[in-house]
């Protein structure tokens, strides 16, 4: 099989799109392809030396005349420079704007013909897509890419509804590395958090943006904790943190809610958890749900975006309407109170992660897209 030289651009900070882009790069590198990450800082999951992986930092000129530092132009120049020097076959960019638009500019600056693959992750469509000042740029980024993928069927449908691009968009699901995300013995961690054996552990992981509705997580947990001994692990940080802390105090849950802030080794936290709550009002995929499921943690999620494609209602978890705290807490209790249901959902969660979202197959799907463009 031909080995490719691929440039990857993503948001390198904590976030599902950066995680997926980095894991994809690592897996392609393991298969012998040469991967060049081009971004403003080193992607956070690229935390050691990897064979076949290179990193090129985009430096932005802070010259005082510029009211706004010209990051997009600097990125496009860097993409073109790396593509020419390293003889890249293609650029795989994550997010339509600015990354796809920068790649299109880079392609025009390049001495060689490079292909552009764009993956849509959600925020670029479900949030920015509603901003009329950006719709044309998003459409341009999609239509001028050589191939476009979206991380769920729901996101692809929404992209056609909101942006109406004249372009075929293929669904390529997200995946996780199941060599890392698997249940391990983390009893010591449970003891460290002083979680008793009879207490159920509920976990929520997000960037605490309003769209994640972390307050609904706390309200649902309050109902669960009123009828069974339970602890809530809140993982992540973001704009809603202050208001969430206030709500925890108001509901008298200080002893039961553990704020963990941003964490890296999530597989250990999932390994001590019994249930995940992901109650967002927008979620194109819900990578954290898949991570938890791979570790055998069933999920109660909301009926939005791609979540029902990840959580199979009544099979590996439950789907509820956004904001319906009564239904969310009663569904959570149905899983937590019944050992058989919990075991069944847990087993099915692992099977779903290993089959529908099988990493090897999904990486091959991306490779097929690359080869189709280059042949
Ligand atoms: O959820 C976020 O706010 C972060 C955002 C990102 O850019 O990483 O996540 C989006 O992409 C992830 C990876 O494809 C998806 O798992 C998330 O569902 C999606 N977030 C939203 O659609 C809100």
List, for residues 288-306, the tens digit of each pLDDT value.
999 999 999 999 999 999 9
Q: How far is the CA of 97 from the centre of ligand 1 (A)?
A: 14
Q: Considering the domain boundaries, does residue 180 fall inside one?
A: no
Q: How far is CA 288 from the centre of its chain?
A: 7
Q: Considering the domain boundaries, does residue 144 fall inside one?
A: yes
Closest ligand 1 atom to the C-alpha of 11? 7
Q: Show the domain range for 295.
A: 187-355
What is the 3-state composition of the chain as percent helix, strand, coil, each rounded to the nearest 5?
A: 45, 15, 40
Is 80 exceeded by the pLDDT of residue 153?
yes
Which of the four pLDDT bands, split at 50, 70 and 90, describes residue 129? low
Same domain for 315 and 198: yes
As given in the structure block, the two tokens for residue 162 are: 């909101």
Same domain for 338 and 363: no
Q: 367: closest CA among 103, 24, 93?
A: 24
Burial call 265-277: b when 16+ CB within 10 Å, e when fewer: ebbbbbbbbbbbb
How many whole angstroms separate alpha carbon 328 and alpha carbon 265?
27
Q: Considering the domain boundaries, does residue 182 fall inside one?
A: no
Q: How far is the CA of 84 from the centre of ligand 1 (A)?
A: 31
Using CB atoms within 10 Å of the CB of residue 208, give its burial: 0 to 12 exposed, 13 to 18 middle, 19+ buried.
buried
Same domain for 140 and 28: yes
Same domain for 370 and 329: no
Residue 129, ligand 1, Cβ within 6 A: no
CATH (domain of 113): 3.40.50.2000
Same domain for 240 and 112: no
Tokens 């200080």 identify what position? Answer: 254
Q: Considering the domain boundaries, does residue 181 fall inside one?
A: no
Number of domains in the chain: 2
List, for residues 248-265, the tens digit of each pLDDT value.
999 999 999 999 999 988
Average pLDDT, the chain: 95
List, for residues 219-230, the tens digit of each pLDDT value.
999 999 999 999
Question: Which residue out of 44, 121, 175, 311 has the highest number of ligand 1 atoms within 8 Å of its CB and is therefore the one to mutate?
Answer: 121
Are the beta carbons of 121 and 146 closer than 8 angstroms?
A: no
Same domain for 171 and 25: yes
Query: Rounded to the nearest 5°, which phi and psi values hold at 259?
Result: -90, 120
- pTM of the predicted structure, to 2 decimals: 0.96
Is 70 exceeded by the pLDDT of residue 157?
yes
Residue 286, ligand 1, Cβ within 6 A: yes
Q: Considering the domain boundaries, does residue 147 fall inside one?
A: yes
Looking at residue 130, its pLDDT comes to 74
Same domain for 31 and 98: yes
Q: Considering the domain boundaries, does residue 202 fall inside one?
A: yes
ipTM over 0.95: yes
Same domain for 205 and 166: no
Find the DSSP H helices in the chain. 16-30, 71-86, 101-109, 132-143, 153-162, 187-192, 214-225, 241-250, 266-271, 287-294, 307-310, 325-337, 339-355, 359-374
Same domain for 156 and 53: yes
């Amino acid at each position: 099989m031909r080995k490719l030289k691929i440039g990857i651009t993503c948001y390198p900070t904590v976030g599902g799109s950066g995680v997926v882009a980095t894991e994809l790069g690592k897996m392609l590198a393991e298969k012998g392809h040469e991967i060049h990450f081009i971004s403003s800082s080193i992607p956070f999951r690229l935390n050691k030396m990897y064979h076949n992986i290179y990193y090129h930092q985009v430096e932005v000129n802070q010259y005082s005349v510029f009211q706004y530092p010209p990051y997009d132009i600097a990125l496009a120049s860097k993409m073109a420079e790396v593509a020419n020097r390293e003889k890249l076959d293609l650029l795989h960019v994550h997010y339509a704007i600015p990354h796809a638009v920068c790649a299109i500019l880079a392609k025009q600056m390049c001495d060689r013909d490079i292909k552009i693959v764009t993956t849509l992750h959600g925020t670029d469509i479900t949030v920015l897509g509603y901003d009329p000042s950006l719709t044309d740029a998003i459409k341009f980024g999609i239509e001028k890419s050589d191939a476009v993928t979206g991380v769920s069927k729901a996101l692809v449908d929404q992209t056609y509804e909101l942006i109406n691009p004249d372009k075929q968009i293929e669904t390529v699901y997200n995946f996780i590395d199941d060599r890392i995300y698997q249940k391990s013995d983390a009893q010591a961690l449970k003891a460290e958090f002083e979680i008793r054996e009879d207490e159920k552990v509920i976990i929520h992981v997000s960037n605490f943006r309003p769209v994640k509705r972390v307050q609904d997580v706390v309200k649902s947990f309050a109902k669960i904790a009123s009828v069974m001994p339970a602890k809530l692990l809140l993982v992540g940080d973001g704009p809603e943190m202050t208001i969430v802390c206030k709500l925890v105090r108001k509901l008298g849950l200080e002893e039961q809610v553990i704020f963990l802030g941003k964490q890296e080794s999530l597989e250990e936290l999932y390994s001590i958890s019994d249930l995940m709550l992901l109650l967002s009002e927008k979620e194109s995929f819900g990578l954290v749900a898949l991570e938890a499921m791979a570790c055998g943690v069933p999920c109660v999620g909301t009926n939005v975006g791609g979540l029902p494609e990840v959580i199979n209602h009544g099979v590996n978890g439950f789907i509820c309407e956004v904001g319906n705290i009564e239904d969310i807490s009663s569904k959570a209790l149905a899983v937590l109170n019944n050992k058989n249901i919990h075991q069944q959902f847990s087993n099915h969660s692992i099977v779903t992660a290993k089959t529908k979202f099988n990493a090897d197959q999904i990486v091959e799907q991306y490779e097929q897209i690359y080869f189709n463009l280059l042949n």
